[in-house]
Every structure is written in C-alpha cells, then in structure tokens.
Amino acid sequence: MGIVTPFPNAQKPNQIGFERLELTRILDLYGRMVAAGHWRDYAIELGQDAAVFAAFRRTAERPEFRIEKRPALRHRQGMWALIGEHGTVLKRGQELGPVLAPVERRLMKLVD
C-alpha cells in the first residue's frame, strides 16, 4: 500500500458560532423586538475569537445592541456580553438568559 501524507493547511481555522438553542433564544427576542417596532435589521459575525449578533434600529446605523459570545472569557467574566450602541458593556454573564434580561425588559408594558 501507499503512504498517506496529510495535505498542508488542510485544517480550517477555528470558528466560534452559536449553538442551536442559543440562536433560537436570540432570534426569538429579535422577532419580538421587530414586532414591537424597536428593531428592523440584524447581522451575525462568526469569527475566530467571538460570535456576534448585532441588532439595528435602522439598517444604516450602528447596532443598538450587540450580543457577543467569547468562550475565552468563560472562566473569568462570563462568555456572554450585551454591548450597547456606544460600545459600553451593559451586562456580562455565564448564561445567556440574564444577559438578555435588560433588552427583554424593554418589551414589558404596564397594563391597567
């Protein structure tokens, strides 16, 4: 038999992404915000360091919120971060639910 030699640079670079349940939770929130008239567009960026979901009020603006997943910070500050329009970190945590809570609070309305 012949000798098998590995093809150089055959490995794909590591890419951070969202799991199905995480993306479902984020897109559910996005759909409710669209229905309420707060958001109109979104973008997803999958990189080597982080996966980012950005929600826009209008298409041509900066994102109103960015939801970032950085697994490298998993044991320090938490791998999830909610970042505001001007780049300020609004919330960090180990779990996605509490990080999304400030955005979900905007959907609550008082009922008489």
Tens of each residue's pLDDT in the chain, 112 residues: 678 777 676 555 578 888 999 999 999 999 998 998 888 899 999 988 899 999 998 777 788 899 999 888 888 888 999 998 888 999 999 999 899 999 888 887 644 5
Residue 80 backbone phi and psi in degrees, to 5? -100, 140
Alpha carbon of residue 64 to chain centroid: 13
Distance CA 16, CA 63 (A): 20
In this prediction the pTM is: 0.80
Taking the domains of the chain in order of start, what are their residue ranges? 21-105
Closest CA to 71 of 105, 94, 37: 94
